[in-house]
Amino acid sequence: MGRIAYMRVSSDDLSIKNQRQVLEKYNIEKYFEDDAVSGKSLDGRNGLKELLKYVREGDFIYVVALDRLARNQVDQERISAELSIKGAVVVPLDLLDMLGLKEVPTEGVLKMVWDVINVVTRYKAEQERKDMLRRQSEGIKRAKKEGKYKGTLPRYRSDTKNRKDKNTYFEVLKRLENNQPMLKIAEELGISRNTVKKIRLRAKI
């Protein structure tokens, strides 16, 4: 069990030293950082990847703000799940301050706060999935009305039972929302550009 910290700034104009100064007062044993790296995706975030490999059961991961870990719902859910499986707890100092906690509370309270964050994260992710399903259903109804619906469900969709195809679907959506070019998405995920285009049209991105 130990105290480790993760720091990230997304621009060369910002200094990671400010975050370190805030974190130093918490007796941090090991620091991980991503300097001038965007939090919109996990691409290029070597510091975060090293942290996920290093983290041990019982570790407390201090961040000045929860969005230092992730800026989108998909990545937040993925990171939270991996850390929880490993038995680690994230300590978001901005949230503790919002709750009026001037001092870092006991380990039991920190674990409770992290559990609540995970519940909210899963809830928001589920709501997003339901919203995607609703938009997809509306698109099918519209296509049927216009006589364009062929009746064959696409391979990559939110409600498929194939976990790999479902993960690919949500990964495409995430990258499209981050304005990544369709050709690059197709090449990196091993699917056709036309498939990416169809997913974009169905999701209305």
CATH classification at residue 194: 1.10.10.60
CA torsion through residues 81, 84, 86, 92, sign: positive
* Domain CATH for 80: 3.40.50.1390
Q: Are residues 170 and 118 in the same domain?
A: no
Write out the catalytic residue numbers. 10
Angle between helices 107-145 and 73-85 (to 10 degrees): 140
Q: Which of 123, 141, 172 is the last residue of a domain?
A: 123
> Do 171 and 109 share a domain, yes or no?
no
Q: Please indicate, yes or no, if residue 147 is contained in any of the structural domains.
A: no
Does 52 lie in the same domain as 118?
yes
**Residue 64, both tokens:** 């000045």
Domain that holds residue 60: 3-123
Is residue 142 in some structural domain?
A: no
Task: Classify residue 137: in a domain, yes or no.
Answer: no
Q: Taking CA 120 as the corner, what is the angle to CA 117 and CA 125, rounded to the nearest 5 degrees? A: 125
Q: Are residues 76 and 10 in the same domain?
A: yes
Total domains in the chain come to: 2
Q: What is the pTM of this model?
A: 0.59
Assess whether 7 and 108 both reside in one domain: yes
Residues 26 and 90 grouped into a single domain: yes
CA-CA distances (angstroms) from residue 127 to 73, 74, 120, 123, 133?
Answer: 11, 12, 10, 6, 10
Residues 112 and 177 in one domain: no
* Final residue belonging to a domain, choices 80, 108, 123: 123
Burial 129-150 (b: 16+ CB within 10 A, else e): eeebeeebeeeeeeeeeeeeee
Measured between alpha carbons, how far is 31 from 20 in angstroms, rounded to an integer?
9
pLDDT tens by residue, the chain, 205 residues: 799 999 998 876 567 899 999 999 999 999 999 988 877 777 888 999 999 999 999 999 999 998 898 877 778 878 888 888 899 999 999 888 887 876 777 778 788 887 887 777 666 667 777 777 787 777 777 777 776 666 677 889 888 888 899 889 999 998 988 888 999 999 999 999 999 999 988 887 7
| Whole-angstrom Cα Rg for the chain | 20
Residue 117 and residue 27 share a domain: yes
Within this chain, do residues 98 and 29 fall inside the same structural domain, yes or no?
yes
Question: Measured between alpha carbons, how far is residue 152 from residues 80, 131, 197 in Å?
Answer: 35, 21, 17
In a domain, 141, yes or no: no
Cα distance between residue 199 and residue 205, in whole Å:
9
